[in-house]
Amino acid sequence: MRILFSIITCALLACCAIQSPQAGPVGFRLSSGFKPSQIPGLQLWLDASQITGLSDNDPVAAWDDLSGNANNATQGTVSARPLYKTNIKNGKPALLFDGVDDGFALTTGLNLSAYTVFVVWAQTDAVNGSISFIKSGDPYNYHYLNPAYVAHQPGASTTMATYATATAAGNWAMTEAYRSGTTLYIGKNGTFDGGQASSINWQTDAIGAPYTGGAQFNMVGYIAENLIYNAGLSAGDRQLVEAYLTAKYGLAFTPASIPGLKLWLDASQIVGLNDGDPVATWSDLSGNANNAVQATASSRPTYQTAEINGLPAVQFDGVDDFFDLTSNINATNFTVFIVGRKSTGAALHFVGVCAKGAAGALAPLYYGGDGNFYTQTQTGAYRVTGSQNATLQSNFLYAGYSNAGSPQHRLNRVLLGGSNTSSGSPTAFDAIGARTIFGDYAAQFVGEVLVYDSSLSAGDITLLEDYLQAKWATP
């Protein structure tokens, strides 16, 4: 018995010691002292934080491979050497590629039929393509990562495979790719797309710069770390590497990590107000300064502390409260997220982001007096999905997206069913919380609002639902 107890005690102690969690984003827990080389198959490991002997702005002649394969990245031409930059991300250095001619050749080219790739990087160019890995000397065989998409072009532009896992310029991200069987998966910050058939090897013999004469594809921005394995890693192994990179570089996800953010209202970021204070301005965090404002004192929603998961929310009184947006959001294509709750005992309506005074261009979120849940469009059609009244009276997470003119709704992460009678899309949003032309003033709480100017990919919607659900503890 004593022996058994000791064994169990040792096992528990060992378990605790191994797991020893470090601080990190939701979903990432890192064993203490983990190194990427602990996972078999590491072919290339470039880590700017392990470069020694250089000072800020020094050109980098060699970026040594830490994988054990001595597959160093080198550049003999001084003007084509990326610059070593100190204190760039989370206190760590990174290499800055100028987008003109900077890049490295690998000592030994890689040609991997199975692979997993991780890159921690930030682009500084929002328009032109930037490349992390390419096969030099061949303009049509490369791996292409830019603000709009990640692609693998295996031989001609017509066969380029693209993946909507974009990262806005200037934002840091961990981009990932792996092939399992004949399916290539592209991901970002731990979330992957649905995969796409690919029989193409991961070929690379250069970092940051393409074939001769292909300067338009040059990397414009920073690379901090790059790992390539010769196998499609298991989910568990990927998570270990993701946790290592996320903690090392402080890669916290925010809604601004996804391009096209037009409006971001977050009640938990309102400052200077006390419980019950009227809100004259709800500041937009998207960078567009599209603040939600109300000039009429009696129509101002109020700031309420500890309303949703202990965080503040903005309360609309159901009588005359609403916000105007400083600028209309013209959004034939859109994705909208709202965290909110109907007030207890309130009448039927919840009104999210809407066109307050236009009969023909209405909200992506509206709980109708007919007991249905719909998006009304400029054509007057709508998508009926059945009653959600009970769900809306508890804290909820809504996502709606234009979906090429056939709007879709998700409530608490579930795609709503029902008969779809909709077509077309709203044309513009100019208010939050009321359709004044119909006298629809909703009695409700709103915690957070996000609006994007495209119909986001399933992967990006998952990232944002993860973020909002973790923050507001919605179902």
Q: Which of 29, 20, 21 is nearest to 190 (CA)?
A: 29
**144-203 positions binding Ca ion, by CB under 5 A:** none
The answer to whether residue 460 forms part of the interface with Ca ion (CB under 5 A) is no
CB of 100 to Ca ion, least distance (A): 5
Residue whose structure tokens are 């920073």? 222
> In this chain, which stretch among 92-100, 180-188, 307-315, 389-397 interacts with Ca ion, using CB under 5 A?
92-100
Q: Where are the alpha helices (DSSP H) in 263-337?
A: none
The answer to whether residue 277 forms part of the interface with Ca ion (CB under 5 A) is no
Length of the chain measured in residues: 475
Q: Which of 319, 283, 274 is nearest to 298 (CA)?
A: 319
Burial class (CB in 10 A: 0-12, 13-18, 19+), 282: buried
Nearer to Ca ion, 321 or 430 (CB): 321
CB of 318 to Ca ion, least distance (A): 9
Binding mask 427-456 for Ca ion (x = CB under 5 A): ------------------------------
**Choice from 54, 62, 92, 101 touching Ca ion (CB under 5 A):** 101
Nearer to Ca ion, 74 or 288 (CB): 74
CB of 220 to Ca ion, least distance (A): 11
Distance CA 264, CA 286 (A): 5
**Choice from 266, 307, 321, 440 touching Ca ion (CB under 5 A):** 321
Residue 178, amino acid:
Y
The answer to whether residue 98 forms part of the interface with Ca ion (CB under 5 A) is yes
> In this chain, which stretch among 99-107, 398-406, 408-416, 430-438 interacts with Ca ion, using CB under 5 A?
99-107
* Cβ-contact 329, 427 below 8 angstroms: no
Nearer to Ca ion, 282 or 401 (CB): 282
* Cβ-contact 328, 316 below 8 angstroms: no
> In this chain, which stretch among 217-225, 290-298, 344-352, 391-399 interacts with Ca ion, using CB under 5 A?
290-298
> In this chain, which stretch among 91-99, 175-183, 238-246, 345-353 interacts with Ca ion, using CB under 5 A?
91-99
Residue whose structure tokens are 């290592």? 244
The answer to whether residue 317 forms part of the interface with Ca ion (CB under 5 A) is yes
Q: Which of 228, 275, 298, 235 is nearest to 47 (CA)?
A: 228
Copy the structure tokens of residue 153: 């072009």
**Choice from 102, 193, 225, 307 touching Ca ion (CB under 5 A):** 102
- Taking only Cα atoms into account, the Rg of the chain, rounded to an integer number of angstroms, comes to 25
CB of 104 to Ca ion, least distance (A): 12
CA angle at 37 for the pair 36 and 42, rounded to the nearest 5°: 95
Nearer to Ca ion, 193 or 324 (CB): 324
Q: Which of 67, 71, 62 is nearest to 35 (CA)?
A: 67
End-to-end CA distance of the chain: 44
* CA–CA distances in Å: residue 370 to residues 366, 389, 426: 11, 11, 20
CB of 441 to Ca ion, least distance (A): 8
Total residues interacting with Ca ion, rule: CB under 5 A: 10
Nearer to Ca ion, 220 or 228 (CB): 220
The answer to whether residue 64 forms part of the interface with Ca ion (CB under 5 A) is no
Residue whose structure tokens are 């989910």? 235
Q: What is the separation of C-alpha 66 from the centre of its chain, rounded to a whole number of angstroms?
A: 29
CB of 82 to Ca ion, least distance (A): 8
Copy the structure tokens of residue 259: 């391009």
CB of 322 to Ca ion, least distance (A): 9
> In this chain, which stretch among 95-103, 174-182, 215-223, 334-342 interacts with Ca ion, using CB under 5 A?
95-103
> In this chain, which stretch among 97-105, 176-184, 256-264, 450-458 interacts with Ca ion, using CB under 5 A?
97-105
> In this chain, which stretch among 100-108, 171-179, 193-201, 284-292 interacts with Ca ion, using CB under 5 A?
100-108
Distance CA 35, CA 190 (A): 18
Which residues form the interface with Ca ion (CB under 5 A)?
A: 79, 98, 100-102, 298, 317, 319-321
